[in-house]
Amino acid sequence: GIEIQKTFSASALGTTTGGSVQMKTRGLPDAFEIKVSASGGVNDASTGKEIVNYRSSMTDYYGFDSGLRALPTLLEEKTDGGRNLSVCDPKIDPVRCTAPWEAAILGVTMEDDWAIDHYKAKPNGGVNASIGDRISLDNADFGYYFAGSYKYDVQNRGDAILDDSSDMVGTYERVKEATAINGYGVFGFEYGSEDEVLSKTIYLRSAEDTTRWTRGVDGEENAKERVIMEWVEREFASEQLSGHHLLDFASSEHTLDWRAGYSRTTRYEPDRRTYTYLNNTLATSAVERRWSDLDENSIDAGLDYGHSFDWGSDNITDLKMGVLYSDKDRTVNLQRYGIKAGPNASQVSFSVNTPIEETLSYTSYLIDAIRVAANTTDTDSYQSKESTQAWFVDTTTEIGMDHTLAIGVRGEKFEQQLSYPYEPSEPNILNSDEFLPALTYTYRWNEDLQFRFAASRTLSYPGLIERSKSLSYDPDTDKPIFGNPNLVTSTIDNLDFRVEYYWTPEENITLALFDKVISDPIERAVPDASGSAADGITFRNAVEAKVQGIELDVNKNLIDDADYLFFVGGNVSWIDSQVTLDDNSIRLEGTDSIGRELQGQSPLL
C-alpha cells in the first residue's frame, strides 16, 4: 500500500529541499478485498553458498537483536559514556583512577564475538497480507484498508575487487542480510461530492546485518586486512490526519485541504565492531566497538485553499495558496570503545595466525594483557532541531485555447540548530529565509505541437550528517564521514525551454534545453587533515556551479490494437557542467583548474 520515491524538489513552485522522501499512500478501497501471498527467491550469488558472516543474535532473522549486542550498563557508567577511563592505582587518585582489576571487569562485560567465518546462506523469502472494504452508510461511505509484510533478503558481493589508492588495493567480501517488516493502515469517511477525512498510519522497520572482510595492501605497500561487523535497526512510525472539503458559498466552489501528522524515526546500531591487521599484526589502535542510538520526532501541519475564477469565455485562473509548519527534534547518543596494550601484553599473541577471539578473549583482559580504551569524543553525541515555516501562492491561467501561464511564489523560513551536550560551546545554527519564485509559460501552436518555457529558484539544504561533527560512516565504502559545520544553503536558479510534439496523448517527442546556476553547491571533499582522518570524507561548499544540457525524450507505440501494445521509449541527455572552486579546495585537490565538472554529474545520461 506504500510507494516510496526519492525526490529533489517538493513542488513545481520552486521549492525547497534537496533529498526529501515522499510517500504515496493508498486511500480507501472501492469494495471488499483480501489478499495473502508468499514469495521465495534464489540468488545464484548467495543462496545455498558459503558467505562470510559471524556469530550473532538468535532473533536476527526476525529483524530484532535479542539483546546480545546491548551496551553493558556497567561499562557506560564507569567510563562516563566512553569518554573517560584512567587505569591506575586508586590510592593515587580515588576519583579519576580505575583499578586494573575493575578495568578487566569492564572488558569482560562485552561479548567476545570477533571471529568471522563462512556460513551457508538462507534463501530469500517473504509474506504479504492485506484486507480492506468500503461500507455505505446513510450519507457517507466508511472504508478501511490494512496491509502488512515481512521480507528477508541476502545480498552477496562475493570476491569483489577493491581499488582505492587512498586506502587499500586488493579484494573484499561483503554480505548484507536485510529484514523488513512493514505495516500500513487507513480508515476514514467520504461524504458529499468530494469531502473526505482520513487517518493514515505507517510502520516501516528494517534491519541490516553487514559483514565486510577486506584484504590487500595500502598505499605504503603494507599488508592490510580489515573486518567490519555491523548490525543496524531502523524504524519509522507515523500518524497523519487529513481532510479534503469542497465548500460552496457565494455561488462558487472553493476547496480546503488540511493535514496534521506526527512521526518518529529511530536508528539503533549496537556494537559495531571493526579491527585491522597491519603486516599480519593486530593494530590495537584500529580495534573499535561502537554503540549509537538515534531518535527523531517530527510534527507537521499544513493548510491549502483553492478557487477557480472565470473571466471571459475562454479564460480561467486557478488559485492555490497554503501554509506549512514542520518541526523536527533529533537526539543522537554515540559511544566508542577500543583497546590498548596492558603491562602483560607480551603474554598474548597479536599475530594474524592466532584466532582473534583468543587474542581478544576474556582471559586477555583478566591477565591485564589488553585494556578497554574510552574513545568517545565530546562531539560524538549531538542534538538537533529543525523548523520550517512556509507559505505559497500559485496561479495557473488558461488564456484562450493557446496560452497557459503559471506564476507562483513560495516563502520559506528554515532553521537548523546543532548542539553537543558534552561540549561547552554555542549551538551551531543555519538560518535561511527566502522567496522562491517560479514561472511557466506554455504556447500551443496547434493540437500536436507546443512550446514551454520555465524559470524558477530552488534551495538545497545541507543535511545533519553533512554538518554534524559527530562521526559516521559511508554505507558503501565504510569510510569515516566528518561533517562540516560551516556549510551553507545552496541556491539554484533554473531555466528550461522545451518543444513537445504529440502524435497521440500517450505518444510524444520532446526536445529540451536547460540551464542551472548553483550558488554554493555542496560536494564531497578530502578532509584537510593527516592520519586516518585524511582517508575519510567531508563536505564543502564550492563557489558556484553551472549545468547546461540538451534532453531528448521519445515515447512511440509501434503496435497498438485491442489485445497487444508494443511501444518504445527512451531518454537521453547531454550535459556540460563546470564548478568553480575556492583556493583551499584547489590546494586540497592538487589541481590548478577552477573549472572541472560538477562532482557526480555525468556528461551523458
Mean pLDDT of 14-39: 69
In angstroms, the CA 563 to CA 547 distance is 44
Look at residue 585 and tell me whether its pLDDT is greater than 90: no
Cβ-based neighbour number of residue 477 at 10 Å: 13
pLDDT at residue number 558: 92
Mean pLDDT of 280-304: 96
Query: Greater confidence, 292 or 506?
Result: 292
pLDDT at residue number 532: 53
pLDDT at residue number 484: 92
Q: Which amino acid is at 250?
A: A
- The vertex-211 CA angle with 208 and 214, nearest 5°, equals 145
Residues contacting 424, CB < 8 A, separation 6+: none
What Å distances lie between residue 302 and 116, 241, 318, CA to CA? 51, 11, 19
Residues contacting 249, CB < 8 A, separation 6+: none
Backbone angles phi, psi at 106, to 5 degrees: -60, -40
Give the predicted TM-score (pTM) of the model: 0.86
Q: Are 162 and 168 in contact (CB under 8 A)?
A: yes
In angstroms, the CA 240 to CA 203 distance is 12
In angstroms, the CA 424 to CA 534 distance is 26
- pLDDT tens, 443-476? 999 999 999 999 999 999 999 999 998 888 887 7
- pLDDT tens, 521-542? 999 888 876 555 567 889 999 9
- The vertex-372 CA angle with 368 and 378, nearest 5°, equals 155
Look at residue 87 and tell me whether its pLDDT is greater than 80: yes
Backbone angles phi, psi at 193, to 5 degrees: -80, -35
Look at residue 591 and tell me whether its pLDDT is greater than 80: no
pLDDT at residue number 14: 31
pLDDT at residue number 177: 93
Mean pLDDT of 96-105: 92
pLDDT at residue number 530: 57
Query: Greater confidence, 580 or 332?
Result: 332
Q: Is 528 helix (H, G, I), strand (E, B) or coil?
A: coil
Residue 24: pLDDT band (50, 70, 90) is low
- pLDDT tens, 152-211? 999 888 778 888 777 789 998 999 999 999 999 999 999 988 899 999 999 999 999 999
Burial class from Cβ neighbours inside 10 Å (0-12, 13-18, 19+) for residue 283 reads middle
- pLDDT tens, 160-172? 888 877 778 999 8
pLDDT at residue number 519: 96
Mean pLDDT of 294-316: 93
pLDDT at residue number 389: 97
Cell of 489: 544553503
Provide the mean pLDDT of the chain. Answer: 89
Look at residue 338 and tell me whether its pLDDT is greater than 60: yes
**Among 378-382, 568-572, 590-594, the least confident range:** 590-594
Look at residue 582 and tell me whether its pLDDT is greater than 90: no
Do strands 370-374 and 315-341 pair parallel, antiparallel, or not at all (unpaired)? antiparallel
pLDDT at residue number 529: 62
pLDDT at residue number 574: 97
Mean pLDDT of 39-68: 87
Look at residue 6 and tell me whether its pLDDT is greater than 60: no
pLDDT at residue number 297: 98
Residue 416: pLDDT band (50, 70, 90) is very high
State what percent of residues in the chain have pLDDT above 70: 94
pLDDT at residue number 479: 81
Q: Where are the beta strands (DSSP E) in 347-402?
A: 370-374, 382-399
Cβ-based neighbour number of residue 605 at 10 Å: 11
Look at residue 253 and tell me whether its pLDDT is greater than 90: no
Q: Are 141 and 189 in contact (CB under 8 A)?
A: yes
Query: Greater confidence, 586 or 328?
Result: 328
pLDDT at residue number 593: 55
Look at residue 4 and tell me whether its pLDDT is greater than 70: no
pLDDT at residue number 252: 80
Q: Which amino acid is at 524?
A: R
Q: Which amino acid is at 302?
A: G
pLDDT at residue number 594: 58
Q: What is the CA radius of gyration of the chain?
A: 29
